[in-house]
Amino acid sequence: MIAGQGFSSINGVTGLEKFEFESIDGGLINLGDFGDQAVLVTNTASNCGFTRQYDELQKLHEEFSTFGLVVLAIPSEDFFQEFSNNDKVKEFCEVNFSLTIPMTTITKVKGTNAHPFYRWLASEHNFRPAWNFNKVLFNKEGEFVDSFGAFTSPNSRKVRSKILELLQN
């Protein structure tokens, strides 16, 4: 899922563009395809007390996608609150939240078996998801900007102001 072994620079590439995920819809989600867009990445779970944040993530997508924001959901079972089947995750999100944001398949986000993206975040930015619905924001150049814990709503003033700042630049 990553070209090469190092995390800080691969063939001169230092940001998001070196990572790809399997899409829950089939195919791949290459973060490099989001060039010139700010990206909000959230590790998610269907059976968590914070699952209602899907509504807010969808609203951010609807409000800001035309201005250059990508909202990416990464379902994970690492905190034991996700279905074990990608089809169930997809159906749950479509039925309960009418979710249209890009979503990966169920992905490891912590520990030594974490997806290379999350190992890179830990290594280069000292970010490790402490729970479901931890959010990471990147600017249009694919550079890490900020992270937000589960208790920070995607629609909070803190998150929205950072997004607006990135979209205006």
Active-site position among 38, 48, 69, 109: 48
| Dist CA 67 CA 134 (whole Å) | 23
> β-pairing, 38-44 with 69-75?
parallel
- C-alpha distances (whole Å) from 58 to each of 19, 51, 165 are 23, 12, 20
| Dist CA 114 CA 43 (whole Å) | 12
Residue 48 is a catalytic residue: yes
Element (H, E) at 144: strand 144-148
Scan for tokens 């402490």, then name that residue. Answer: 130
Catalytic residues: 48
